[in-house]
Amino acid sequence: MIDTDSIFLATSRLAEDGALRAAAVAQLKAVCGSPAYRDWQSSPSQLRPFKLPASFTVDALNTLGLVQDGALGVRVNLIGQSTVLTDGVWVDARIRVFPFADESEAILAYCRRRGLVHWADTVIDLATGSGHNLAFFGNGVRRIGMDINPRALAYFHCNHVLNEQTDRVGMLNDIRDGFAGVVGGAAGSRTLVLGNLPFGLASTRDMLALTSNGGDNGLQLQGAAFRAIAAFRQTPQGAHAHAVLLGYSLGNAATKQWELVDLAKSIVGADSVVFDVPAHEGLLRVDGRRTMANPSPLRPALDMAGGCRLYHPDPVAARTRYAALSDRFIAQGFNDLAYVIVEIAPAGARA
Ligand SMILES: C[S@@+](CC[C@H](N)C(=O)[O-])C[C@H]1O[C@@H](n2cnc3c(N)ncnc32)[C@H](O)[C@@H]1O
């Protein structure tokens, strides 16, 4: 595993040497665009770092300390023009920075449909990881990324330098403390708040990575995020903000009742909440692919989640624990699980 100090050292080298930076970007793009990398990225092979074929030029990546034992020590995701470095799933789940960009793509697809991408002059990402959500926005848009994990901010800053971004800052913050005073933009600014907080269902702390563990019902940190947004909406900057959050939700497809939506309504008020259950988004990322229908019946969905080799070294034990969780929630009247996008819109802007 690449240690956090090495990410910091690579960032310093990138900042000091423009030619090295340009070469590193070109070499990372070549790796990431190769069929071998694409196969690796969507299969259980990603449990180990990507072995670099001898035909690849990687001298700049070597200089930066990103190559270890002939393998790339980081994961790379291409987002628009940006090259985003982050952890792979082989990194210890207690400190791992979120590897995947597909949730950000889902959030951004929703924002595009709602016309929010070009509307925003400021974007605040509540749990930014290495910065996937913000990578969709260009220089000129003020961007603030917050996260509880200092290693995530090391990657965030590295990606900032690697992609020559300006107007972007990363901050250590626990969303349970709200926006922690880091926001002080002008009244009237068009602020878009984004969030894909940890939302995986898990009955214990060790059942899922820090990046994914949302407690029993997946809502533990979503509630904190909605409360932070409610407080932000009381500030001059937040009065006209839109917030878009992604999460899993227990609920019932037949009645279109979703816990995540009800939680948002109870905190910010029902007339501010819009939601979508995007049918084109596969429900669960199992072994790197999202293949289940959204929504899906709870029991088979959680059973499939337990079988994910990327998250559960002992799938039999994980399936047993998920079966117990399913029993509990089905007894409470929840039949289904969905990927839900919740938007909190200012008064009069819901439609
Ligand atoms: C699902 S990941 C998404 C990360 C990032 N948005 C991305 O798409 O790569 C959830 C993120 O929430 C962060 N996180 C966990 N608990 C948090 C908390 N209490 N406050 C703020 N961030 C938290 C994790 O460190 C992780 O980066």
> Do residues 167 and 189 touch, judged by C-beta distance below 8 A?
no
User: What interhelical angle do 298-306 and 315-331 show, nearest 10?
Assistant: 160
CB of 103 within 6 A of ligand 1: the answer is: yes
Mean pLDDT (whole number) for 231-243? 92
> Do residues 144 and 122 touch, judged by C-beta distance below 8 A?
yes
Per-residue burial over 239-261, b if 16 or more Cβ lie within 10 Å, else e, is ebbbbbbbbbbbbbbeeeebbbb
Greater confidence (168 vs 152) lies with 152
SS3 state at 132: coil
Query: Among 94, 148, 285, which is best to mutate for testing ligand 1, by the most ligand atoms less than 8 A from CB?
Result: 148
Q: Which segment of 84-88, 219-223, 227-231, 317-321 scores lowest on mean pLDDT?
A: 317-321
Mean pLDDT (whole number) for 177-195? 82
Mean pLDDT (whole number) for 284-290? 80
CB of 175 within 6 A of ligand 1: the answer is: yes
CA of 191 to the centre of ligand 1 (A): 20
CA of 130 to the centre of ligand 1 (A): 9
Q: How far is CA 298 from the centre of its chain?
A: 23
CA of 56 to the centre of ligand 1 (A): 33
CB of 221 within 6 A of ligand 1: the answer is: yes
Q: Which CATH architecture is the domain 75-344 placed in?
A: 3-Layer(aba) Sandwich (3.40)
CB of 98 within 6 A of ligand 1: the answer is: yes
CB of 148 within 6 A of ligand 1: the answer is: yes
Q: How confident is the model at residue 311 (pLDDT cuts 50, 70, 90)?
A: confident
pLDDT at 183 > cutoff 80: no
CB of 128 within 6 A of ligand 1: the answer is: yes
> Do residues 334 and 298 touch, judged by C-beta distance below 8 A?
yes
Please write the tens of the pLDDT for every residue from 38-90. 999 988 899 999 999 999 999 999 999 999 999 999 999 999 889 999 999 99
Q: The tokens of 101 are what?
A: 């960009």
Instruction: Give percent helix, percent strand, percent coil of the chain, each to the nearest 5.
Output: 40, 20, 40
Q: Which amino acid is at 266?
A: S
Task: Check whether the bond before 295 is cis (ω within 30° of 0).
Answer: yes
Q: How confident is the model at residue 350 (pLDDT cuts 50, 70, 90)?
A: low
pLDDT for the residue numbered 242: 97
Residues counted in the chain: 351
Q: Which segment of 10-14, 230-234, 346-350 scores lowest on mean pLDDT?
A: 346-350
Q: How confident is the model at residue 278 (pLDDT cuts 50, 70, 90)?
A: very high
Domain residue limits, the chain: 75-344
SS3 state at 160: helix
Interatomic CA distance for residues 77 and 223, integer angstroms: 29
CA of 99 to the centre of ligand 1 (A): 11
pLDDT at 139 > cutoff 90: no
Q: Which residue puts its alpha carbon closest to atom 18 of ligand 1?
A: 174
pLDDT for the residue numbered 288: 77
Q: Which residue puts its alpha carbon closest to atom 16 of ligand 1?
A: 148
Element (DSSP H or E) covering residue 145: strand 142-147
User: What interhelical angle do 18-32 and 4-16 show, nearest 10?
Assistant: 120
Q: The tokens of 237 are what?
A: 């900057």
